Structure 1
Amino acid sequence: MPTFADHVIASLEASGVSRLYGLPGDSLNGLTDGIRRDGVDWVHVRHEESAVFAAAAEAGLTGELNVCVGSCGPGNLHLINGLFDAQCSRVPVLAIAAQIPGSEIGSGYFQETRPQELFAECSVYAEVVTSPESGPRILEMAMRAAVERRGVAVVVVPGEIFLAKTGRDLPPTVVRPTRTVVRPDDEPLNEAAELLNDAQRVTILAGAGAAGAHDDLVRLAEILKAPVVHALRGKEYVEYDNPYDVGLTGLLGFASGYKAIEEADTLLMLGTDFPYRQFYPRDAKVIQLDIRGEQIGRRTHVDLPLVGSVRDTLPALLPLLTIKTHRDHFDQALAHYARTRKSLDALAVNDHERTPIHPQFVARTIDRLADRDAVFTVDVGSPVVWAARYLTFNGHRRLLGSFNHGTTARAP
């Protein structure tokens, strides 16, 4: 008869998980012994925070569920900063948090904490396994929540339950992401098309939610003669092979992106929750499309809210649009971007008469030497500015960092 640990390992394997990141502890003995016998790889780290950062990075690159593990008390408490980061980055991470013996909970036992309460604020699901019989169902719900809601799920397991028999030979749980088409109804789409067709100066602000919609986004900009401003997390999906891109706005951005938005009479927000309210236009009409309807209108007033994915919505919107012929707004934005780009590039030079060398030159050199499919990681602060301004992307390169939570040493 398999143990609950055996079921956990088999279910993770069946769901495509190939490794667990963690640090051993006696409350995890049942799980690590199950891995020793058969199962996924154990990636040993020196600190549990590194485990969750690594799991979140892999989840961000692949879109697949990844797993980190912490022993009871201080062990899983070390996960909390990384779990906040993963939750803010909206990547599917399962945290297995070992607990003290179940019979001792509530007694002030050695290393006693309440992980399900501590992690409630940084997760989409957090629950305690109270018996080996209830464990498989809780595991399945946690995995499904992490995958479908793209966030952190926490399963708290008293150490002895890992070693306990499940009571019956259960098949492994298989949890894979589903593929669902999500777009607005025809009526709001027609309303959006009417607003865009009537507008004289449209600017597009696109973020990470534009992933998978690159070609349709460029076609949209072409039809509307709209400059495209990208948020930092949208850089890798929006900027490359895009003659309508005019750079970033915000604290990391530069003047051309700011001006393209400020001078628009209509702002079309696509898959972005860009947080800095002072960089939004004062008088423009705003259309916001986001897969998470609760985010719409959080940053600026919105005249037309649209709930859906950018990838699914643009193919339905494009046929409703009228091709614009006037392009003064775009030409002015592009000229401004060219001037701004020239001034930024002038800083990325190797001036041998000055030391230390310019960090902009270092970033540009790294960009030039990096592989076509390189993954760039950046720490918080000035490195993010250099990455935003000097790294270039091509549809294969990736960018990782703590761009929402803002924790240092996030780069795995």
Structure 2
Amino acid sequence: MQTVSEVIVDTLVKAGAKRCYGIVGDTINHFTSAVRTSDLEWVHVRHEEVGAFAAGGESYLTGELSVCAGTAGPGSLHFINGIFESHRNGAPVLLIASRIDRAEQGFGYPQDVDQQRLYEQCSVFCETLTHPEQARRMISQAAQAALNRRGVAVVQISGDIFKEKSNDVLPWSVHRPVWIARPSDSELDTLAKKINQAKNITIYGGIGCRFAHDETVKLAQHLAAPIAHTTRSKEFLEYDNPCNVGMNGILGNPAGYRAIMTCDLLLCLGTDFAYTQFYPEKATIIQIDSEAPHLGRRTPLDMGLVGHVGATIEALLPRLKARTNSTFLDDLRTRYAKDLKEMEGRGKEPDPSLIHPQFVAQTLDKLANDDAVFTADGGSPMVWLLRHLRANGKRSFLTSLSHGTMANAYPQGLGMAKAYPGRQVIAMCGDGGMTMLMGDLLTLVQEKIPLKVLVFNNHSLGFVEMEQRIEGLLDSYTGLHNPDFGRVAEACGITGTSVESADQLEESMQTWLAAEGPALLSVQVNRVELVMPPEVTAQQISSTALFGLKAILSGRGDEVVDLLRDNFLR
């Protein structure tokens, strides 16, 4: 007869889990003891939030189940931000959130927390295991929900239950059916009629195109339609795509923006892009998504259809007339080529002492492996990844686009590197994000994880600083007093290097990438850097001018000169 802990671990392993991230202690000691004698690897992190990020990074990349486990009260609570991030990324993670012993619950006992109300808002499954006979059945259901609904499952377990015996002999297991959905024939006929009557068609591809690159490109070529993509689908639609015109949104480029705004029919494929100001006001808009609740929640639709992108395109194509007039596509492709040239130009270094972050990202793009995995912190590192790293069908990218958190990059990279020890995994970190969870640099050493960490060191919360200035405000409380990150890394037992001159960057980056084991490269980058949107509005110009006036009046005129020089006069 097995203990509940042994049953849980056995069920997780059979569900495909390979690793469990967490910190050991009181209410999960019997569980971690069962892990120790199993095939499930325990990854000992220094902060539970890092464990949740790491598990989410692993599961996002592999599509397989990963596990976190935390002690009662603060231990399980520390996972919350990383769990939100993983859930919104669609990563199948299972969290074992332990509670105090049942006999003490409800009496204000130390560390007693009602986790149900916290985790039910960031999970596809959130239940409490209350009896030993539920162990295999509930863990199987939780894993099944996480894997099939692509999100986080949470199981709460009181510490005293872990050591009890389970008499359940029923063979509960995890099922992963493969299913395909597409709209009905009548819906496809109506959709085809609308497409055949339209003049200028743009395809807007999202994360739902993850497994439908070839079908999406085939549809675009058949319709002579440009493909604009969301930030999350860069990895899946940018490469080998003669119809690609780039990204839409605040981080996008003019061609991608114009493709959306100037079409008369917008075909949204697997996208739930959140920002309503980046949808056209007059075009016919049709959305196809595998999740019916996603239809029409971002912008009003003319048609909303449920289906997987690849299967829907295959059923739709025979109903569509092929188009030979490619003027709309050709014009946008010409604009896209100009966009790429302009973005490349923003990384040029006329002054070796002034390192632009774009130049750092472009150098990384050139030197990184063709199948490298990249993560980036929310904020400006995310921008440099999206704009300056090239997708090629082999590289993988993960940024915090749905949750928008700081400090996600190297913790997610930690889990990705554990999952794929043979691949080059690179985390692009802001100095704010790095210092928020810096303690887990020690995890890289202790667990021998060969992650490559790149720190964009501009001594500020740069993205926040830019937001404040664009709103016409003087930037406030954004400055950071940072250590020498290279020396900090060395103190932790990691190969560490700091670069302050553009002349040193390429050689230092080559050495950093070639280092055995974990390595950190800190680059002193320009602080006064704007992230230019695809379309600059009059309001943004006037607000930025207001910042300039306030800066001059407050004795900070040198910053205005730097802003003009580094962003507009080059």
The alignment's TM-score, normalised by the length of structure 2, stands at 0.71
Contact residue 30 and residue 160 of structure 1 kept, 8 A:
no
Contact 1:252 1:384 in 2 (8 A): no
SS of the equivalent of 2:68 reads: strand
Are 1:2 and 1:169, in contact at CA under 8 Å, matched by a contact in 2?
no
Could you say which residue in structure 2 is the equivalent of 1:190? 189
Matched, 1:369 2:361: no
Once the two structures are superposed, what CA deviation does each residue of 1:153-197 show, in whole Å capped at 9, x if it has no partner? 1000111111110024454x4325321011111111111111111
Q: Do residues 75 (structure 1) and 100 (structure 2) align?
A: no
Give the secondary structure class of the aligned counterpart of 1:233.
Answer: helix
Task: Find the counterpart in structure 2 of residue 390 from structure 1.
Answer: 388
Report the equivalent of 1:296: 295
> Structure 1: how far apart are the matches of 2:300 and 2:327?
26
Residue 388 (structure 1) shift: 1.1
Task: Determine the C-alpha separation between the residues in 2 that align with 1:154 and 1:322.
Answer: 48
| In structure 2, C-alpha distance between the alignment counterparts of 1:200 and 1:168, rounded to whole Å | 63
Residue matched to 1:350: 349
Corresponding residue number in structure 2 for 1:61: 61
Q: Give runs of aligned pairs for residues 176-255 of structure 1, distance below 5 A.
A: 176-255=175-254
Matched, 1:159 2:159: yes
Q: Which amino acid aligns with 2:376?
A: V
Whether 1:49 aligns to 2:49 is: yes
- How far, CA to CA, are the matches of 1:138 and 1:18 in structure 2? 19
Residue 134 of structure 1 and its aligned partner are, at CA, apart by: 2.1
Secondary structure of 1:366's partner?
helix
Counterparts of residues 4-153 of structure 1 (less than 5 Å): 4-153=4-153
Please give the residue correspondences for 1:280-295 in structure 2 after superposition, counting only pairs within 5 Å. 280-295=279-294
Three-state SS of the structure 1 residue aligned to 2:133 is coil
What is the alpha-carbon distance in structure 2 between the residues aligned to residue 97 and residue 378 of structure 1? 28
Question: 1:373, 1:397 within 8 Å by CA — same for their partners in 2?
Answer: yes
- Which amino acid in structure 2 is aligned with residue 408 of structure 1? M
Matching of residues 335-346 of structure 1 within 5 Å: 335-346=334-345
SS, match of residue 69 in structure 2: strand
Aligned AA (1:183) = R
Task: Give the secondary structure class of the aligned counterpart of 2:2.
Answer: coil
Report the counterpart of residue 407 of structure 1 in structure 2.
405
Secondary structure in 2 matching 1:399: strand
Find the aligned partners of 2:319 and 2:347 in 1 and give their Cα distance. Answer: 43
Residue 308 of structure 2 aligns with an amino acid whose one-letter code is S
Are 1:3 and 1:162, in contact at CA under 8 Å, matched by a contact in 2?
yes
Distance in 2 of aligned mates of 1:323 and 1:10: 54
CA distance in 2, matches of 1:238, 1:110: 51
Post-superposition Cα deviations, 1:22-60, rounded to whole Å, max 9, x if no partner, equal: 110110011011112223110110010011101100110
Larger Rg: 2
CA contact (8 A) 1:349 1:361 kept: yes
Paired residues of 1:7 and 1:170 also in contact (CA < 8 A): no
**Aligned alpha-carbon RMSD (Å):** 1.2
**Identity of matched residues, %:** 46
Distance 1:189 1:58 in 2: 37
Task: Check conservation: 1:379, 1:410, Cα contact below 8 A.
Answer: yes
Offset from partner CA, 1:86-133 (integer Å, 9 cap, x none): 121121111000110011110111110011222111111111111111
Instruction: Give distance in 1, aligned partners of 2:387 and 2:18.
Output: 35
Amino acid across the alignment from 1:295:
H
Unaligned runs of 5+ in 1: none
Contact 1:212–1:311 (CA<8 Å) still a contact in 2? Answer: yes
- CA distance in 2 between counterparts of 1:318 and 1:370 reads 38
Q: Given the superposition, is the C-alpha separation of residues 170 and 160 from structure 1 closer, same or farther in structure 2, using an over 3 Å criterion?
A: farther
CA distance in structure 2 between the aligned counterparts of 1:170 and 1:305, rounded to whole angstroms: 43
Q: Secondary structure at the match of 2:384?
A: helix
Q: Distance in 1 between matches of 2:394 and 2:352?
A: 35
CA contact (8 A) 2:226 2:244 kept: yes
1:3 aligned onto 2:10:
no
On the 8 A contact 1:211/1:311 being kept in 2, the answer is: no
Inter-partner Cα distance in structure 2 for 1:176 and 1:370: 38
Alpha carbons 2:15, 2:140 under 8 Å: kept = no
Question: Counterparts of 1:136 and 1:17 in 2: how far apart (Å)?
Answer: 15
Aligned length: 410
Aligned equivalents of 1:145 and 1:60: distance in 2? 15
TM-superposed CA distance for 1:311, in Å, is 2.1
SS at the partner of 1:160? coil
CA deviations over 1:174-227 (Å, ceiling 9, x no partner): 325321011111111111111111111000110111011111111111011111
Give the secondary-structure state (helix, strand or coil) at the position aligned to 1:386.
helix
Q: TM-score with structure 1 length normalisation?
A: 0.97
Structure-2 separation of matches of 1:168 and 1:249 = 53
Paired residue type of 1:182? A
Select between 383-392 and 132-141 the one with higher mean Cα deviation.
Answer: 132-141
Q: Please, which runs of 5 or more residues in structure 2 have no aligned partner?
A: 412-570
The Cα shift of 1:315 comes to 1.1
Provide the secondary structure at the position in 2 that maps to 1:59.
helix
Per the alignment, do residues 185 and 240 of structure 1 end up closer, same or farther by CA in structure 2, a change over 3 Å counting? same
